[in-house]
Amino acid sequence: MKHILFPFILLLVLVACSETPEKPIIEITGIDNTIKPGDNFFRYVNAEWYDSIPIPTTQAGVGAYMFMNYPQRIKLQGILDSIFHSQNPDGSIEQKVGDFLRIGNGYPNH
């Protein structure tokens, strides 16, 4: 039995080693191979994206959080605008927030 098993295992190893490697399952794109990873890892992995994505003048930067947070910022701006432009009872939270926004934007109190 040993005499048959050893050549069979050897044949399996040789066949497995002679096949060409398959295409990797995960294809990584955007790597800048002109930069050594040890010199500047951020540029190595992000150079293509960093150089091609424009940063809007209304924002300090661009990132995944900015895109995820955008709907919440729009909703919050709508809430603050409605408080800012409405007449609220004196002493109410809404009136205080509206006054805070009005002063912060350079508008006189009502």
CA distance 90 to 1: 97
Number of domains in the chain: 2
| 31 and 51 together in one domain | yes
Cα 33 to Cα 91: distance, rounded to the nearest angstrom:
62
The verdict on 86 and 103 lying in the same domain is yes
* Position 110 pLDDT exceeds 60: no
Residue in the structure block whose two tokens are 């050594």 = 36
100: containing domain:
63-110
Calculate the average pLDDT of the chain.
79
Percentage above 70 pLDDT, the chain: 83
Regarding whether 67 and 97 lie in a shared domain, the answer is: yes
Residue 12 lies in a domain: no
Which tokens sit at 6? 């050893």
Q: Are 75 and 36 within one domain?
A: no
Among the listed residues 50, 6, 64, the one whose alpha carbon sits nearest the alpha carbon of residue 41: 50
Residue 18 within any structural domain of the chain: no
Model confidence, pTM: 0.38
The DSSP secondary-structure symbol of 53 reads S
Q: Are residues 67 and 110 in the same domain?
A: yes
- What is the per-residue pLDDT across 36-88, written as a single tens digit (0 to 9) for each? 999 999 999 988 888 888 877 777 777 777 777 778 888 888 888 888 888 88
How confident is the model at residue 55, as a pLDDT? 77
